[in-house]
Amino acid sequence: MTEQGSGLGDDSSRRPGLEVWALEPYFGGSHKIFLDGLTQHSRHAFSLFTLPGRHWKWRMHGGALTLADRAAAAAATRVLPHAFFASDMLDLPVFLAAVEPDMRVLPTMVYFHENQLSYPLPAGAERDLGYGFKNVTTAAVADTVLFNSDYHRREFLSAAAALLQAVPDEVPLELLPEIEAKARVIPVGCDLRRFDRHRSEATGDAAAGRWGCPADGPLLLWNQRWEYDKAPGTLFAALYALKDMGVSFRLAMAGPNQGTPTAEFVEAKARLAGHLVQWGKVQGDADYASLLWAADVVVSTAVHEFFGIAVVEAIYCGCRPVLPDRLSYPELIPKEAHEDVLYREGGLVAALTRALARPRAWSEDWQRTWVGGFDWAGLRSRYDEEIQSCWDKATRIRSRRGFVR
């Protein structure tokens, strides 16, 4: 457990911060980056109760009990917090059942990075609805439910309705309007300004040819996970078509890869060898920033995206985006740019051809405004306000019931 809270941006006109205990059974990857950012930028004081980011299925089953024990141990020596802030990986009903009664009445918030009802499965896999039902019951008992995009909110409510309509009897359909009424959308906070610190160095790297020779064509970037839900096969098919058409481009396959690359990646590395300037995740913030500032176009073929941090980072650094006209992507791009940025089914090759022909078709400064609001500097107040609102509302309710902390 760690305790953090910077109070960045606080002034005497603002209300004093609250004590918040964050509960994260899967403290790794984007979950860790998000929670680190929130605790650093919030005016509220966070204490983190976390488990390592591995064995996600076991975390959803057993993480609540472990974190309940840790919270109870902390409560024995400390004043109770004003609120709990949990992620979707926590089985919140189990956590509340396992803690002491005076902790069960504290306000609770849950942030949905993803959900197990509509997360796409690999070919041949069968969905275990038990994990999705944990998400539903967690949302049901929480006081505030936060989603990282409106697409995700709508997707979750639709999937939850389908699940409840499929149960044999005693269908608790009243849960859905209750969850919807307390659901809010706040995008993931991103540390975008960190890229500005590396821009001059990145310019030098590009001039020195670190990311290939510009004469070989624009630099096309893939900075997403090398996994099935990002549909890399669709990307490779489009790149093979571009190659056959004689379109010039350099290629940076820079997303994180977990485990041994699949056969389609092995084949792509061989067939696209003459275009490659990067193969595999770029280690180090400065090196990653250097690549993003050097790249001309960023592409996604994802079949799953509840927000899209990697794409947001690339857009901020000036990469012209080529994105599917679905998932969360339409929310990231202003409507006036949809026609130039978003492609429909079957339109990827044409979209890439246009983007590579004119990677600087509009002002880089204008493009940065599309995503600049996702930086923590702009979002931290929204999180702070939601936390404060959750506490205020719960306090009014508890006061009417004769209980005040």
Q: Is residue 340 part of a domain?
A: yes
The stretches in the chain having pLDDT less than 50 are 3, 5-13
Q: Is residue 405 part of a domain?
A: no
* Co-location of 172 and 224 in the same domain: no
pLDDT tens figures, 152-194: 999 999 999 999 998 888 888 899 999 999 999 999 999 999 9
* Co-location of 263 and 380 in the same domain: no
Q: Is residue 83 part of a domain?
A: yes
* Co-location of 155 and 285 in the same domain: no
Q: Could you tell me the CATH number of the domain that includes residue 57?
A: 3.40.50.2000
Domain count, the chain: 2
- Which pLDDT belongs to residue 2? 52
Buried b (16+ CB within 10 A) or exposed e, 185-213: bebbbbbbeebeebeeebeebbeeeebbe
* Co-location of 71 and 164 in the same domain: yes
* Co-location of 369 and 225 in the same domain: yes
Domain of 67 in residue numbering reads as 2-189+376-400
3-class SS letters over 213-266: CHHHCCEEEECCCCCHHHCHHHHHHHHHHHHHHCCCCEEEECCCCCCCCCHHHH
- Which pLDDT belongs to residue 404? 52
Question: Residue 82 to residues 177, 186, 299, 334: CA-CA distances in angstroms?
Answer: 26, 21, 43, 38
Supply 322's token pair. Answer: 């080529």
* Co-location of 225 and 288 in the same domain: yes
* Co-location of 153 and 247 in the same domain: no
Determine the angle formed by the axes of helices 232-245 and 263-271, rounding to 10 degrees: 20
- Which pLDDT belongs to residue 401? 60
Beta bridge partner(s), residue 222:
253
* Co-location of 355 and 389 in the same domain: no
* Co-location of 234 and 276 in the same domain: yes
Structural element, H or E, at residue 176: helix 175-181
Alpha-carbon distance 244 to 351, whole Å?
16
- Which pLDDT belongs to residue 9? 40
- Which pLDDT belongs to residue 173? 85
Sign of CA dihedral 223, 224, 225, 228: negative
* Co-location of 136 and 11 in the same domain: yes
* Co-location of 271 and 368 in the same domain: yes
- Which pLDDT belongs to residue 167? 87
* Co-location of 202 and 153 in the same domain: no
- Which pLDDT belongs to residue 17? 93
pLDDT tens figures, 47-106: 999 999 999 999 999 999 999 999 999 999 999 999 999 999 999 999 999 999 999 999
